């Protein structure tokens, strides 16, 4: 089940935590997805977090792999950036503007998180903008 869940989710989708009601493993669909990965010679980062709390596992996975995330709070607002720290009840995100510029930190209670989007298309673009700005700043200093 480790990898099947993340491999089967579209990269441009948000996972609504309350919408996860069932996780299937070993299905014909998953076996076909695995065959397609082999046929396409695709490589994926292993999702190896062993945690009963799926949200914590995804957040730790994003932090470990330095993925940009978008965290929705109360379906009202969101915070985007890189995960700086995670505890059992608090999440600290180094926030980024839509232009990829660092914009301080956000400290949120995990219980207030309603959805997480990790390494989706917008987040990948955000990370590229951030890297571009960081490299540009390093070049100026040299």
d(CA 89, CA 140): 40
CB 30 within 8 Å of CB 24: yes
- pLDDT > 70: what percent of the chain? 80
pLDDT in tens, 20-52: 777 777 889 888 888 888 888 877 677 766 667
Q: Write down the pTM of the prediction.
A: 0.68
Residue 94 scores a pLDDT above 90? yes
Residue 57 scores a pLDDT above 90? no
Two tokens at 98?
A: 């839509």
d(CA 35, CA 13): 23
The separation between the first and the last C-alpha atoms of the chain, rounded to the nearest angstrom, is 47
């Amino acid at each position: 089940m480790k990898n099947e869940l993340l491999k089967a989710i579209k990269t441009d989708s948000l996972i609504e935590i309350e919408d996860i009601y069932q996780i299937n493993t070993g299905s014909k669909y998953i076996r076909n997805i695995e065959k397609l990965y082999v046929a396409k010679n695709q490589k994926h980062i292993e999702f190896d977090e062993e945690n009963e709390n799926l949200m914590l596992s995804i957040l730790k996975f994003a932090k470990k792999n330095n993925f940009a995330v978008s965290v929705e709070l109360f379906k009202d607002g969101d915070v985007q950036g890189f995960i700086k720290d995670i505890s059992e009840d608090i999440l600290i995100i180094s926030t980024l503007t839509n232009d990829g510029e660092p914009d301080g930190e956000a400290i949120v209670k995990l219980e207030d998180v309603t959805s997480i989007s990790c390494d989706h298309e917008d987040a990948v673009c955000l990370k590229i903008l951030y890297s571009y700005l960081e490299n540009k700043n390093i070049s100026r200093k040299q």
